[in-house]
Copies of this chain bind each other. A is one copy, B any other.
Amino acid sequence: MDSDTLVLMYRKMLEIRLFEDKVFELYGQNLVPGTIHLYTGEEAIAVGVCANLRKEDYIVSTHRGHGHCIAKGARLDRIMAEILGRKTGYCKGKGGSMHIADFSVGVLGATAVVGAGIPIATGAGLSIKLRGTDQVAACFFGDGASNQGTFHEAINMAAIWNLPVLFVCENNLYAMGTHQARVMLIDDIAERAAAYGIPGVLTDGNDAIAVYKAAEKAVERARGGRGPTLLECKTYRQKGHSRFDPATYRPKEEVEEWLSKDPVRRLRKQLREAGTISDDKLAQMERDVAEAVEAAVTFAVDGPHPAPREALEDIYA
């Protein structure tokens, strides 16, 4: 892998990490309405996948979507503003944390209905095929989502039409308080690909380089007209499921083990060991990212709330 890509990936992962830490902090200060689902600990997946995508490629995101959007190139400030319910946010405050979209960089939006994005990604793939471009679409969803009927229907459809779609299962072992083992008998969701006659690939979702390489192959396949791939990335959420979840249903040792596999620290270590980036540059980057996140907060907090009557705009195109 070339070092520019690696450095860029590290930067994006760091952006996500610090962004989510900041969101966590802000909601402690009661600045974030509603609920939120942090991507902390899963950064390698969005970044490893999106590092293979071009601006005009698409992604479909989920309730745990901040990381996806940042990885695909959406702006920190407008995401933050949206999370804070400001008019300056991507969705003018109408969407919030669970519904970020930035069509200008191919983020087709996040749905808060678990599994509902999967057929939408198939549709994006169909659109690409019908329009005859060489774009690809990547769809993120969780282990829990893979038990939805949409998973079955939509992956099958992408398979029979040979569509350029990556189905990326972010298996963080839990859907809210429900451990994977309590809702499916198989260990690897990647196995389900066989039901549709497409490749199922398993990868370490906390290893950005591994994700990058697995996604690279799948993207190559898709762009080459050889159809969809189901890519399962094993990972773990470092925080609770949502705002108020203390996540006490997870054994302490399990949490600790996974914290020790932190994907951001891991890539940092790899970069340093391989000498891909100097410590100075790293420190500079880390300062830059922290500043960018601060700037995003300032932008967000300074943004006005939407006027009440705007609630009645944008209902119809």
Contact = CB atoms under 8 A, between A and B. Distances in A.
B160 A183 contact: yes
A153 B150 CA distance: 9
Given A147-B152, A160-B185, A185-B196, 11 more contacts: A148-B152, A148-B153, A149-B153, A151-B152, A152-B153, A156-B184, A159-B184, A185-B198, A186-B196, A186-B197, A191-B195
Interface residues of A, number: 22
Interface in A139-156: 147-153, 156
12 contacts: A147-B152, A147-B153, A148-B153, A149-B152, A149-B153, A152-B153, A156-B183, A159-B185, A184-B196, A185-B197, A186-B195, A192-B195
A61 to B, nearest CB: 21
A121 to B, nearest CB: 16
Interface of A: 147-153, 156, 159-160, 182-186, 191-192, 194-198
A142 to B, nearest CB: 15
Contacts of A192: 195
Which of A183, A194, A195 gathers most chain B CB within 10 Å? Answer: A195
A182 B157 CA distance: 10
Contact of A147 (B156, B182, B198): B156
A153 B182 CA distance: 14
A185 to B, nearest CB: 3
Contacts of A183: 156, 160
A159 B192 CA distance: 14
Nearest to A147: B156
A147 B185 CA distance: 21
Nearest to A159: B185
A182 B160 contact: yes
A185 B194 CA distance: 10
B147 A149 contact: no
A191 B191 CA distance: 11
Contacts of A149: 148-150, 152-153
Contacts of A196: 184-186
Contacts of A160: 182-185
Contacts of A148: 149, 152-153
A227 to B, nearest CB: 9
Nearest to A119: B149
Nearest to A150: B149
Contacts of A198: 185
A13 to B, nearest CB: 32
A98 B152 CA distance: 26
A196 B194 CA distance: 12
Contacts of A185: 159-160, 196-198
A182 B160 CA distance: 7
